[in-house]
Structure 1
């Protein structure tokens, strides 16, 4: 189900429908719908609609794009569907979400704040990416991580740095605003912004593992595990590039 949600967030349903999503996962459409509804309480179409609304809300709040452009960029098939969905989910019209003073007229470069659950060792992540950066694709400089992405509707470039509070600042340069949802989803996945660090802290507690355990990481058994040395590799934004990191650097 985790992969199904990732694909939905990446826009798979908007691009090819539930049939394409089911084929990618190796299920029939009906079987996939039952499984997702049993796990999440909503079907693939409802989840895709939620992602469209989230993308539209981001564009409304950080740009001054016309509402009609936002509707189609977010994946809605009509202005009426766009307005009705917002009223159903937020009980207000899309225009009421726009704050006065929003003055970014074009969306080929967007500046967003992405939340995470603390604690987060962002400097350690930058060190990780700096050592393993793929030349021509990724760079780490001046406290920021920059990389190119190949998205469904064109290329994109993301730049991520530590922001104020429990946020990272993310600058997106998109060839097509329809890729906003995919770009945000891959950025969050790259930095694991949806993780629960407190859960990992509990796993890092050597008392949580039997003294005779041979399944826990060495750092856990020795009582030296921390959030920064837990042996997990951040994602790369690409299912092909992450295995390359594993093979090249021995990460696991």
Structure 2
């Protein structure tokens, strides 16, 4: 998009572009998401930015009305495998907060100067500014959803000092922490109170969202003790334990969520394959033993539910293929679920079998929760805890490779290198490695060969060119084939 097309999206308050870019108004000093309901500013007074951090670095404050820091992330970071894409995934997972810019650079295999230069050139902000924007958003959420003392809250959000915290909040939100907290309390007429159900959050997404299908997918794969699904279809709550950097947690995500009212975009911006609502959110609650894990936990849940996807781009690409056109029309907003823990996903995939097999592993080697919560009793065991376990050789080999760093499955790892290393392990093979790459590393594409496996799928996509025609959305094509029964659930092409 050029700036004129971006301004057209702003004029129509088109939610499809929330998170893809931001706009700022020079006369007010405020930056917004494209769908902000405020009066559209004059074009001469508008500047565009590729990230919230870039707008903040340019001196603009976040709009209190549209909360531009709470939009879905750009789908580009899921697609891209270059330095910038990998860096953004690492920053989202909290690497800069935990390890600094030097740690980020080491994980990427580049110098800190090179990382700074490339991020600034493309996003208008370096890793420190991007991490700062992330911390500010976490702080706002904690201010408005908990009654934590400000001192404790500031360090939980990742700030190094109270002064840094106060200065950042004033600069980004044009108010003090106390004013932000008071603004959240006024509609309810009461002070914020700790909730036994956890910190309430809204996990935003763009476009249509096939919630029933993704909850179905998670329900049949739920490992007892680590995951559970409550309620009936259409009103379910997915619950699971989380193993995080500073502690553990329990997450609850509701199926029904909420939706934005539909707005018809101008003719020049209509995607012919787009259907459904213009975005919405899933209701979430998080209980954490250490609040410093909040933003990392949120980002991992976003990857699990594929909330940063661009369903319009997926529908446009796959809906143009006659093999998939009807499936895309029948299931708008179908997503490609990821995982909250790539190492857990890898172990479960290589172990194979029904979820009860993994549950036996959890009961034997997983860390029990201090207090069981319904059906949630354990954390899934880390690979290092399974290297000496009585498990099959492929699982032991995988866990050894993960524990000693021979295979890396962190958020911003090189996906190609990880897939090759996985495929080289005994008992893994290319199809299993491709599945782990798709779900564990959140790759929206998948390529394991020129065919599509066996059975009725053989006539669906047998030529090498079909996989190319679906790029970079091959993972979504697989989910359409799985949901329609043209491939057996979990079957990979090849």
Give the C-alpha shift of residue 242 in structure 1: 3.8
Change (3 A) 1:103 1:251: farther
After superposing the two structures, state which structure 1 stretch, 154-163 or 53-62, moved more. 154-163
> Helix, strand or coil for the counterpart of 1:180?
helix
Give the C-alpha shift of residue 124 in structure 1: 0.5
Q: Report the structure number with the largest CA radius of gyration.
A: 2
Which whole-Å CA distance do the structure 1 matches of 2:109 and 2:327 have between them?
38
Which whole-Å CA distance do the structure 2 matches of 1:232 and 1:106 have between them?
31
**What TM-score do the two structures reach when normalised by structure 2?**
0.46
1:223 to 297, 318, 325: 325
Change (3 A) 1:93 1:175: same
The equivalent of 1:164 in structure 2 is 258
| Cα deviation code 1:61-101 (max 9, x no counterpart) | 11111111111110111111111111111221121111222
Are positions 1:249 and 2:490 aligned together? yes
1:179 to 293, 298, 306: 293
Which whole-Å CA distance do the structure 2 matches of 1:96 and 1:62 have between them?
14
Change (3 A) 1:85 1:229: closer
The equivalent of 1:191 in structure 2 is 305
Which whole-Å CA distance do the structure 2 matches of 1:102 and 1:38 have between them?
43
Give the C-alpha shift of residue 57 in structure 1: 0.3
Q: Which has the higher contact order (CA 8 A, sep 6+)?
A: 1
Which whole-Å CA distance do the structure 2 matches of 1:58 and 1:180 have between them?
10
- Structure 2 gaps, min length 5: 1-83, 260-279, 350-434, 437-488
The equivalent of 2:237 in structure 1 is 144
Q: How many residues align?
A: 240
Which whole-Å CA distance do the structure 2 matches of 1:38 and 1:90 have between them?
25
Written as runs of structure 1 = structure 2, the 5 A alignment for 1:1-252 is 1-98=84-181, 99-100=184-185, 101-105=190-194, 109-142=198-231, 143-161=236-254, 162-165=256-259, 166-206=280-320, 209=321, 221-226=323-328, 228=331, 233-243=336-346, 244-245=348-349, 246=435, 249-250=490-491
Over the aligned positions, Cα root-mean-square deviation in angstroms equals 2.4
Which whole-Å CA distance do the structure 2 matches of 1:106 and 1:230 have between them?
32
- Structure 1 gaps, min length 5: 210-219
Which whole-Å CA distance do the structure 1 matches of 2:244 and 2:341 have between them?
10
Which whole-Å CA distance do the structure 2 matches of 1:106 and 1:79 have between them?
25
**What TM-score do the two structures reach when normalised by structure 1?**
0.86
Change (3 A) 1:229 1:113: closer
Give the C-alpha shift of residue 172 in structure 1: 0.6
